Amino acid sequence: LFARPFLFVKGCVRIADLPPMDRVEIAFAGRSNVGKSSLINALCGTSSLARTSNTPGRTQELNIFESQSESLRIVDMPGYGYAKAPEDKVRQWTRLIHQYLTGRATLRRVYVLVDGRHGPKDNDLTVMNELDKAAVSYQVVLTKADKPSAGELTKVISATQAAITKRPAAHPQVILTSSLKGEGLRELRTEIAMLLES
Ligand code: GDP
């Protein structure tokens, strides 16, 4: 599935810009700087794929990537929680995300990336609330697992598990990753491949 390259298709600022619902989609969400671009790049085995999403102007868009050989679409959602974001931008983002999450029948799962050094923050929980309400399946992926000490990581994992335990749309299993060390990538790829088969 990830052997062939994924290509950047387009950035969408409006729901109307999205491609037709003709492929299974998975989306990646997370606070800015959580390591989303790094993870998408590591997952797809390229170093420049998701860089576009970090260039100014692209940050508020849903960035679409597609594999050439398989019918999978990856949607890179704009990073949230950026302190300096203007209020009208945040409102625009919230609206786009809400429309996307509630109206996309082909969206199979959202991977909610959470910083492995800190665990879920308020805005991560807000996104999970939204996903629960929209009944969109999601799974928490801890990033930068190479950074915290083993003891810190254990605490973060417990806090993350506690945060999802009663959430109806959350996958019970938390995936631990490090894009830097390549940790957890195989597990994530396997999960995604299973979604395509189901
Ligand atoms: P994004 O804003 O969520 O797309 O985050 P980026 O992928 O641009 O990463 C933000 C910062 O975290 C960069 O400085 C990355 O080098 C760093 N980073 C990303 N993934 C990892 C990781 O697995 N381990 C470590 N130690 N740093 C990471």
Question: What's the rounded mean pLDDT across residues 54-82?
Answer: 80
> Which pLDDT belongs to residue 59?
62
Cα 40 to averaged position of ligand 1 atoms, centre (Å):
11
Q: What is the mean pLDDT of residues 154-179?
A: 97
Question: Which atom of ligand 1 is least distant from the CA of 34?
Answer: 3
Instruction: Report pLDDT for 80.
Output: 85
> Tens of pLDDT along 89-111?
778 888 888 999 999 999 999 99
| Cβ partners under 8 Å of residue 190, min gap 6 | none
CB atoms within 10 A of CB 106: 16
Ligand 1: nearest atom to the Cα of 143: 23
End-to-end C-alpha distance for the chain, whole angstroms:
15
CATH class of the structural domain 6-197: alpha beta
Q: Say yes or no to pLDDT of 55 above 60.
A: no
ipTM value > 0.95: yes
User: What is the best residue among 38, 51, 74, 177 to mutate for testing ligand 1's pocket, by most ligand atoms within 8 Å of CB?
Assistant: 38
- The number of the ligand 1 atom at minimal distance from the alpha carbon of 40 is 7
Is 3 exposed, middle or buried (CB count within 10 Å of its CB: 0-12, 13-18, 19+)?
Answer: exposed
Task: Label residue 163 by pLDDT band (50, 70, 90).
Answer: very high
Q: Domain boundaries in the chain?
A: 6-197
Say which DSSP state 35 is in: S
The whole-number pLDDT of residue 47 equals 60
